[in-house]
Structure 1
């Protein structure tokens, strides 16, 4: 369950660094995955593992979640909002903390997996047709507007 600016949201009990990778192909299309858990479209990304950098995390998560090997070409920003809370069934209540990188595809094909039931490159003009996760929409919007790096 996600909460945004909700005074009734539970108090966070964890803060886990996560990294996303906004991958743009040669035609300007953005790589998105449809998450199995929410049904919403999102950038590939996830929790950082001990022993890896935030950038390595973004590249690893992209490959795991989309089948696309990508290289980092830039930095979009740090997205952390204490009013964006995610409550998990196991009792973890997480405050948002994401670093988002910009990348280019190097190899691979969009591939479904345990976390994503659809993966594709989407042209910016078509984004309105997709149910994109609110925090991802902000990040994509910042990229398209050229208003990065965002350090909020």
Structure 2
């Protein structure tokens, strides 16, 4: 079975039409030094916050905590809402075996979080995991949809809602 490749589109008029919507949660995790937790996805080779789809029987908070642990090895506690990101400008295309398997318009709830345990660990979903200084974020290839979450969370203020 060939691996699934993820292609994120942002404000792309040639992007495929979404065939589904799925709720997901992400975590803007900052350590005591203010650094941001990022991982380099194995399915797209871009840097992202820990994020993933909501499973049956779990809350969005539980989803963010689980995804962070599974993708980075870091245990977190959530602190509040960064925002709800559901712009139709963001479309995710999943390609399997050279064919489009799904095209999704995500609905993501991003939460502020802090580490409470675990250790940075590369995983099947994360080729690399790092703590990144906010001033160094421009040195990383981060998709615009992810960068919106990060930038809003770093600026502070009321939660963002699309």
- Alignment TM class, shorter chain as reference: over 0.9
Bigger Cα displacement from structure 2, 137-146 vs 67-76: 137-146
State the partner residue of 1:45. Answer: 51
8 Å contact kept, 1:30–1:123: yes
- TM-score normalised by structure 2 residue count: 0.89
**Among 53, 58, 66, which residue is 1:60 paired with?**
66
Query: What is the CA distance between 1:127 and its match in structure 2?
Result: 1.1
Aligned pairs (5 A) from 1:110-149: 110-149=120-159
Question: Which of the pair is proportionally richer in strand?
Answer: 2
Bigger Cα displacement from structure 2, 128-137 vs 50-59: 128-137
Structural RMSD (CA): 1.1
Query: What is the CA distance between 1:81 and its match in structure 2?
Result: 1.1
Segments ≥4 residues shifted beyond 3 Å: none
**How far apart are the structure 2 equivalents of 1:2 and 1:106?**
31
8 Å contact kept, 1:142–1:148: no
Q: Tell me how many residue pairs correspond in the alignment.
A: 152
**Among 9, 22, 30, which residue is 1:3 paired with?**
9
**Among 90, 103, 107, which residue is 2:113 paired with?**
103
Query: What is the CA distance between 1:124 and its match in structure 2?
Result: 0.7
State the partner residue of 1:150. Answer: 160
State the partner residue of 1:77. Answer: 83
**How far apart are the structure 2 equivalents of 1:14 and 1:102?**
27
Query: What is the CA distance between 1:88 and its match in structure 2?
Result: 1.3
Query: In the TM superposition, what whole-angstrom CA distance separates every residue of 1:82-129 from its partner, at most 9, and x where no partner exists?
Result: 121111125211002100001010001110010101101111111111
**How far apart are the structure 2 equivalents of 1:6 and 1:25?**
34
- TM-score normalised by structure 1 residue count: 0.95
